[in-house]
Amino acid sequence: MSESTSAAEERAIAYAQHLFDLARDGDAAALRTALDAGVPVNLTNANGDTLLILAAYHRHGDVVRVLLDHGADVHRHNDRGQNALVSAVFQQDAPVVRMLLDAGADPAAGTPSAVDTARAFGLPAMAELLEEHRPSP
């Protein structure tokens, strides 16, 4: 591998890490600019976490909204079987939970699921919110 290829790969990795930091830190404007420039909205890190999972876990509703507006997949799971909805439920972030549910997130998906997470951690408000969004039979 040439030095220029190695340097280019290192820059690409550093930029990807920067994008994940933007999601963690809540910089919606910078992330929007990157997505508008063509960054894949479902970019995934080495743990399988998407930008959406990280934004939901870190309680950044404005970033979650930007990602959803750019078509982020609410059904993606990380390597532990968790998704953005599980992250938002665990953090007890009702506005983000509602955004994800309204975008089609499935409360029963994942291992553990959002429903399982609410039950396991004794989060009755989250369980009620998930129940309110259950599809009618």
Q: What is the four-CA torsion angle of 52, 120, 112, 28, rounded to 10 degrees?
A: 0
Closest CA to 130 of 116, 73, 121: 116
Rounded distance, CA 29 to CA 119, Å?
35
Task: Per-residue pLDDT tens, the chain, 137 aa: give them.
Answer: 455 669 889 999 999 999 999 999 999 999 999 999 999 999 999 999 999 999 999 999 999 999 999 999 999 999 999 999 999 999 999 999 999 999 999 999 988 999 999 999 999 999 999 999 876 55
93 located within any domain: yes
Number of domains in the chain: 1
The CATH number of residue 70's host domain is 1.25.40.20
Amino acid at 5: T
Per-residue tokens: 131: 């129940």
pTM of the prediction? 0.92
How many helices (H) and strands (E) would you count in the chain? 8, 0
